[in-house]
Amino acid sequence: KDFFELVCNRVHPVGPYDAADAQRMIDRLSGGASGPQRVWPAAERERMIWLSGGHAGILAQVYAAADRGAVAVLAPGAEVKLAQRAAVTLACDTIWDSLDTSERAGLIGVIGGARPGDSTAGRLQKKGLLVVDGQQVRLFSPVFELYLRNRHGAGLTQATASMGTSRVAPARVSFQPERGVV
């Protein structure tokens, strides 16, 4: 991964599933490897997709928690219970670890009420992590938003203060053949 990012100038982020893909994932997960296929009511399926924002890693963990009966997805506060689960936190950590510092600051700023700069907002939209509807900006998943509030809430004030326009720094690569270093 690191080498690819160093030498490749084209990055194609894979965002959350669309509704049909998320439905197919639920069908696949309920396929019944250990028994008959589980049939989920439409309301529960839609709620799983909404809670996860359609992100495959989070959706798999939401499904697992619902399937085991650990969380009732239609219950009020289901997102709070899900955000407290270690497996869900790990899925959210994976997303967080894939972001650069300006993208992280942009997401933290959004939950603090700020709007990220155009460059950052565009990158976050392409990754499917930010939903922009006119002047309204929100995160893609209530579970991921709670993860950010729980794990990174202390940085809300600092991130909100540095939310001006953000630009990606140009990449520089230099070869130092005498030292064998790129």
**0.85 cut: is pTM over it?**
no
- Look up tokens 């928690």; give the residue: 65
Q: Give the whole-angstrom CA distance, residue 6 versus residue 51.
A: 34
Task: Please tell me whether residue 137 adopts helix, strand or coil conformation.
Answer: strand
Task: Please tell me whether residue 75 adopts helix, strand or coil conformation.
Answer: coil
What does the pLDDT look like over 11-36, one tens digit per residue? 555 667 888 999 999 999 988 656 67
Q: Enumerate residues 6+ apart whose C-beta is below 8 A from 168.
A: 102, 119, 123
What does the pLDDT look like over 93-115, one tens digit per residue? 999 998 999 999 999 999 888 88
Phi (first) and psi of residue 136, to 5 degrees: -80, 135
